[in-house]
Structure 1
Amino acid sequence: MASPDKRDLLGACLWAGATVAVVAASDSMLPRTVLGAPMALLISGHTVLRAMGIRTTSLSEHLAYSVGASLALTVVGGFVLNVLGALTPLGWAFWYLAVTTAAMRLAPSDINISTPSARLGSLRIPPWQAAAIALAMLVATGAYALAIHDQAVERQFKYTEFWMLPPAQGDPGQLVVGVRSAEAEAHQYDLEVTLDGKPFAVFRSLTIAPGDTWVRKVPVPILAVQQKAEARLYRPADNKLYRKVSALVPAS
């Protein structure tokens, strides 16, 4: 059990644990923001100040330091999570849990941040400090909410795969051309194959539905010299080149 001097740090750890649980269990922005914003704006900075044993003379000064330290931790966390490939809401929740847990283990047990003049009943915060704290909290809360929203609506990039395989040893004289659609709706394509820059085969108005694959073997002559085959995929709607692939036809 935590000592009386570390009850605030125990509370911070419990808050961070609750944040991890909520983020893992729910995609709702409201509970994530309610739990995550105080952690990102105030609580994490407070735990670090306690771990470092930094004393303040008033509650307003401690709040200002805590907000600044929290924002600094958020910046550091962004770099760390980006390197780890965990720049997600759950990654952030675990980051703050790790910070608060480490702070609780490292904090001295004889630090008391409260002073008679820092009690809530006699709290006096200068207007400029209050404005700075409010602005910092507003910016950080907006950034946190935007990050959650962007992550929630993120969709994987949709595209059409296009490939050409050279003749295999067991099937000489056959190029393999394929198209696979991963797009959201069906599209029409024109496909042209050239051999050493000369038109060789054309496939018009190929309609490929999402998730479907079109594959065709194209017979090519095997000559005494190596040839270069190239396939181009067009969309008839705008007649612009959409994909281009190539392969080498080995000599006989």
Structure 2
Amino acid sequence: MRPARNWDLMAACLWAGLMVAAALFTDSPVLRTALGVPLVFLIVGHTVLRAVGIPTVTLTQHLTYSVGASLASCILGGFALHFAHGLNPIGWAIWMWGVTALATVIAGIRRTTPALPPRLSVIPGFRLWHGLALTASVLIVVGAFALAVDQEENHREFRYTEFWIVPQEGSGELVVGIRSAETKGQVFDVEVTLDNRPFATYRGLVIEPGETWTHNIPVLITDAPQKAEARLFRPQDNVIYRHVSALVPGT
């Protein structure tokens, strides 16, 4: 046992912090995977081992224990995030950062901690080309996983467009809305009728994937209820793409 060397713990905290930043500020699956895989399978477990004080003799033993501790942390995190309704990339990133930071603090305040295992160069029978082959295999696995995640994210099994018309209570207005989940931008026309009479028309609305368009239409309230209908057209084929209706209450 000897005084703790905390450079590895500081690096682990920095890595976990970068993972949180990637989850918060970017949607890149490649970057998230590159930061997340080492964190999930190794880094968290390494800091836990340093915090608990389990000694390891060789690098192989330390890596094996680290992987096991990391997986145990993920299992515990799955239960915790489930009850906290945080099973999403940001929730997982914060969980990993929290475990890493807590383990770093615990390891840092310990008076003694097990020495880090020997470096690769002093492992009997381990050569440089072994390390290069191991690194290449890890990069291939990470790259394949990142490619699969990217394809899954960009693949849309279903393409659709939401369309609605609803009366806004107390304001005498109708709200017409479009939300696109298409694979590319679409051009739409909207026609609104009130009791089968033309009431409002909107031409050439360009709606990008994920974009929402809404518009409030003032309506004169009468004694009797009025039926409002809205039709959504695509100019390229000039057919009704969506048809919705709503009842405007009378006085």
Partner of 1:201: 197
Alignment partners' CA distance in 2, 1:47 and 1:243 = 57
Alignment partners' CA distance in 2, 1:167 and 1:21 = 49
Structure 1 residue ranges without an equivalent (≥5) = 126-132, 169-174, 195-199
Q: TM-score, normalised by structure 1?
A: 0.58
Matches within 5 A, 1:87-236: 87-88=88-89, 92-107=92-107, 108-112=110-114, 121-123=122-124, 141=142, 145=146, 162-165=165-168, 176-180=173-177, 184-194=185-195, 200-203=196-199, 206-210=202-206, 215-219=216-220, 221-223=222-224, 227=225, 229-235=227-233
- Larger radius of gyration between Structure 1 and Structure 2: 1
Shift of 1:70: 1.7
Amino acid at match of 1:45: G
Shift of 1:162: 3.2
- CA, structure 1 residues 217+21, in 2 after alignment: closer, same or farther (shift >3 Å)? closer
What is the root-mean-square deviation in Å for CA atoms of aligned residues? Answer: 4.9
Matches within 5 A, 1:32-111: 35-56=35-56, 58-77=58-77, 80=80, 83=84, 85=86, 87-88=88-89, 92-107=92-107, 108-111=110-113
Shift of 1:111: 4.0
Alignment partners' CA distance in 2, 1:166 and 1:177 = 9
Shift of 1:248: 2.0
Partner of 1:6: 4
Identity %: 26
SS at match of 1:191: strand
Q: Does 1:245 align with 2:246?
A: yes
Shift of 1:66: 0.8
Alignment partners' CA distance in 2, 1:137 and 1:74 = 20
Amino acid at match of 1:64: T
Shift of 1:78: 5.4
Alignment partners' CA distance in 2, 1:215 and 1:202 = 16
Shift of 1:101: 2.4
Alignment partners' CA distance in 1, 2:167 and 2:249 = 10
SS at match of 2:229: strand
Amino acid at match of 1:20: G
With 158-167 and 183-192 compared, the bigger mean Cα shift is at 158-167
After superposition, the C-alpha distances for 1:47-88 in whole angstroms (9 at most, x for unaligned) are 112322334464323211211222333454456567365834
Aligned residues: 222
- CA, structure 1 residues 92+188, in 2 after alignment: closer, same or farther (shift >3 Å)? same
Alignment partners' CA distance in 1, 2:93 and 2:168 = 46
SS at match of 1:110: coil
Partner of 2:209: none
Alignment partners' CA distance in 2, 1:105 and 1:189 = 60
Contact persistence 2:233–2:240 (CA under 8 A): yes
Contact persistence 1:10–1:104 (CA under 8 A): no
Alignment partners' CA distance in 2, 1:72 and 1:142 = 25
- CA, structure 1 residues 34+123, in 2 after alignment: closer, same or farther (shift >3 Å)? farther
Alignment partners' CA distance in 1, 2:117 and 2:10 = 24
Amino acid at match of 2:60: S
